[in-house]
Amino acid sequence: MAGIIEVKDQGKLRIYDADNSNYIDIVVPSTVSSNRTITLPDASFTVPQADTVGGITVADFWRITADFSTSGGDITANWERVDTDGYGTLGSAMTESSGIFSFPSTGIYLISARVFTGATNDALSYIGLDIQTTTDNSSYSEAASSFSSAGSQNHHASINVDFIFDVTNTTTHKCKLFTDVVSSNTADFAGNSSATRSGIYFIRLGDT
φ and ψ at residue 85, rounded to 5 degrees:
60, 35
Query: CB count, 10 Å around CB of 21?
Result: 7
Q: Name every residue whose Cβ is closer than 8 Å to that of residue 149 and which is 6 or more positions away in sequence.
A: 125, 126, 155, 157
Per-residue pLDDT of the chain (208 residues; tens, 9 = 90+): 677 888 888 888 899 999 999 999 888 888 888 998 888 888 887 776 655 555 688 999 999 999 998 888 999 999 999 999 999 999 999 999 999 999 999 999 999 999 998 766 555 667 889 999 999 999 999 999 998 876 556 677 889 999 999 999 999 999 999 998 877 678 889 999 999 999 999 999 998 8
Residue 94 near residue 111, CB atoms below 8 Å: no
Q: Report d(CA 61, CA 44) in Å as an integer.
A: 38
Which fold would CATH assign to domain 59-206? Answer: Jelly Rolls (2.60.120)
Residue 151 near residue 124, CB atoms below 8 Å: yes
Q: What is the pTM of this model?
A: 0.74
Q: Report d(CA 110, CA 94) in Å as an integer.
A: 13
